[in-house]
C-alpha cells in the first residue's frame, strides 16, 4: 500500500477535504494518508512577515517525521513555506522520499495559460512567495509575465459564504486586468469554479495540481 505524507501548517476543514479527495482521485481510495499539522508555523511566519529559523526548523522536522513513519512521498501544503521544501530537496532525494510542493505546477499552468496573471491571497506572507514562484517558473519557461496583486484583506478565518463573497468582491477589482487568476492558498480552492464562471477567466488553485505532481513523483520513484 502506498503511504503519503500530507504536511500542513495552518489548515481548514475545506482544505483537508479537498486535498484528501484530490490525492485519492490520483492514487486510489486505498492510499494511506499520514497527515501532520503545526499551525504555529504559519502563525510565526505571519508575525515575522517571512520564514524565520524556528518555524523552518519545525517544518523540516515534520518532513523527517513523515519519512521515518514510512511515507513513500509527501505533499507540502503551505505556499508560505514553499522555499523550505525547496531547501531540503537534496535530502529528500537522498532518503528516497520526494517532497512535492502543492503550488509549483499550478504556477507553471498559470504561466502557460496567460501573460497577465492575478495572484489572490488572504495573507501577504503567501502572496509574495507565490509571486516569486511564478516569476521563477516564467524565467525557466522563457516567458515574460505581468503580475497583478490581489490581497483579499479580512478574508482569513471567514466562513464559506462570507469568504466566497469577499473573494468575489476582490476578484472583480482585477478580472479585467488579467488573463489568469491564481489562488495562492489551497484553502481558496472551493471557490475556483465559481470565480471562473462568474468572471469568465482561467482560475487555478493548487490541490488538484499538487495531487497530480505527487502521483508523478511516485511514478518517477518506481512506487507506482
pLDDT digits (tens, 9 = 90+) for 14-53: 889 999 999 999 999 999 999 999 999 999 999 999 999 9
pLDDT of 32 reads 98
Q: In degrees rounded to 5, what are phi and psi of residue 120?
A: -105, 130
pLDDT of 67 reads 98
- Count how many domains the chain has: 2
Residues 73-123: pLDDT tens digits?
999 999 999 999 999 999 999 999 999 999 999 999 999 999 999 999 988
Looking at the structure, tell me whether residues 57 and 110 fall in a common domain: no
pLDDT of 159 reads 82
DSSP character string of 13-82: HHHHHHHHHHHHHHH-TT-EEEEEE-HHHHHHHHHHSS--HHHHHHHHHHHHHHHHTT-SEEEE--GGGH
Expressed as residue numbers, the domain containing 191 is 104-205
**Percent residues over pLDDT 70 in the chain:** 100
Looking at the structure, tell me whether residues 8 and 27 fall in a common domain: yes
Looking at the structure, tell me whether residues 83 and 114 fall in a common domain: no
Looking at the structure, tell me whether residues 72 and 108 fall in a common domain: no
pLDDT of 12 reads 83
Amino acid at each position: 500500500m502506498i503511504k503519503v505524507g500530507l504536511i500542513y501548517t495552518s489548515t481548514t476543514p475545506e482544505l483537508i477535504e479537498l486535498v484528501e479527495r484530490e490525492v485519492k482521485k490520483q492514487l486510489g481510495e486505498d492510499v494511506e494518508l499520514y497527515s501532520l499539522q503545526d499551525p504555529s508555523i504559519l502563525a510565526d511566519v505571519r508575525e515575522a512577515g517571512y520564514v524565520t529559523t524556528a518555524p523552518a526548523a519545525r517544518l523540516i522536522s515534520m518532513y523527517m517525521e513523515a519519512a521515518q513513519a514510512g511515507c513513500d512521498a509527501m505533499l507540502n501544503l503551505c505556499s508560505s513555506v514553499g522555499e523550505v521544501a525547496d531547501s531540503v530537496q537534496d535530502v529528500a532525494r537522498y532518503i528516497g522520499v520526494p517532497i512535492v510542493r502543492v503550488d509549483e505546477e499550478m504556477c507553471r499552468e498559470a504561466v502557460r495559460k496567460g501573460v497577465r496573471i492575478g495572484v489572490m491571497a488572504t495573507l501577504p506572507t503567501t502572496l509574495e512567495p507565490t509571486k516569486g514562484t511564478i516569476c521563477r517558473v516564467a524565467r525557466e519557461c522563457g516567458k515574460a509575465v505581468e503580475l497583478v496583486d490581489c490581497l483579499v484583506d479580512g478574508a482569513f478565518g471567514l466562513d464559506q459564504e462570507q469568504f466566497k463573497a469577499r473573494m468575489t468582491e476582490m476578484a472583480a477589482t482585477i478580472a479585467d486586468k488579467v488573463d489568469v487568476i491564481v489562488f495562492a492558498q489551497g484553502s481558496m480552492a472551493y471557490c475556483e469554479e465559481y470565480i471562473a464562471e462568474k468572471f469568465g477567466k482561467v482560475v487555478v488553485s493548487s490541490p488538484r495540481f499538487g495531487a497530480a505532481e505527487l502521483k508523478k513523483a511516485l511514478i518517477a520513484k518506481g512506487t507506482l
